[in-house]
Amino acid sequence: MADDIPKSRICVNYVAGRYLVYDVNDIAYLRTTWHMCGTLFGTLPQAQQQNIFLGLPLELMQEEARLLVDQRVAMIVDDSLAHRDAVEALSETDKADIFALKIQEQDKLMLASREESMKRKQAAIENAKASGKWKTKPAKAPEVSTNQAEESSLFASTSDTGTEGAGGDGSGSGVELASTGQRITPDDSNQRQYIIPMASSTIGPHSLRLPQEAEHAPSPPEARFQVYRYLQSLGYFMSPGLRFGCQFVAYPGDPLRFHSHFLVKSLQWDEELSILDLVGGGRLGTGVKKAWMIAGLEQPDTEAREPEGHSVRTFCVEWAGFG
């Protein structure tokens, strides 16, 4: 795997005790090369309760983050410090450009909402006419509400010179964005091609400055990390095992293609294990069609050692159900 290390290291953001990856290309690289799937937990603001299709960012386990740092594949960036440095480095021109882009985005969303409202109203009218429930009412002067008054401040209505349209034949009409002066005709709005023009000056180089590597690094328990590293080196895909009452769940291949084989629990060499935990782990693993694996480091004074100085021993327990 060392031959596949990219030229630039992956940026792993440290946010409130979590190690997060935001770049989808980095996520694909970690999955295909380093067998790290992580956990997606991003949600949409309009659907906070969704629990099936989650998105970015991707959260890595401490063991995964430490392995990437040890192999010089990734660097840990303190997100709060990087955000503070990036904001302090922004010039007044950068801030003005960002504010202008924000206003343009608001105008675009307002126009899209207005178009959707008009389409729903037109569809309701057509359905009422088709069912014979439509009744023509005498026209009356519309009342200008507070919301409409606010919208008029953002959108310039068609004027005597603006009703000529893009072609100048007097048949076109449209809406002009107040912030940019860009005119969008009904044909453009129907196609939903809203173009946000860039500001006059581009974002300065300070806002694109690369973040500095954080001084702290992930520090999971040594026995647990060495067990993870050993199984990962054998080609297993490891994922958190909290829902199965263990530390890791080991897959022989990509979890999208394979069923997991082991429920992994790491132990110290002299750590005690009760018979109830032994029986419970074996029965749990058998109940979910997996084997319960106990793994740990050999006694420190063992002569036979691996090059890294650690030797991992593994044992599998499977409930036979005699009786």
Q: Which residues belong to the active site?
A: 251, 259, 290
**Angle formed by the axes of helices 92-130 and 146-154, nearest 10°:** 130
* 38: Cβ contacts below 8 Å, ≥ 6 apart: 21, 27, 30, 58, 59, 60, 61, 64
Q: How far is CA 294 from the centre of its chain?
A: 33
Our CA angle for 38, 42, 45, nearest 5°, is 175
Q: Which of 262, 242, 244 is nearest to 252 (CA)?
A: 262
Structure tokens of 102?
A: 């924000």
Question: 261-297 burial string, b = 16+ CB within 10 Å, else e?
Answer: bbbbbbbeeeeeeeeeeeeebbebbbeeebbbbbbbb
Structure letter (DSSP) for residue 47 = B
* 213: Cβ contacts below 8 Å, ≥ 6 apart: 75, 76, 77
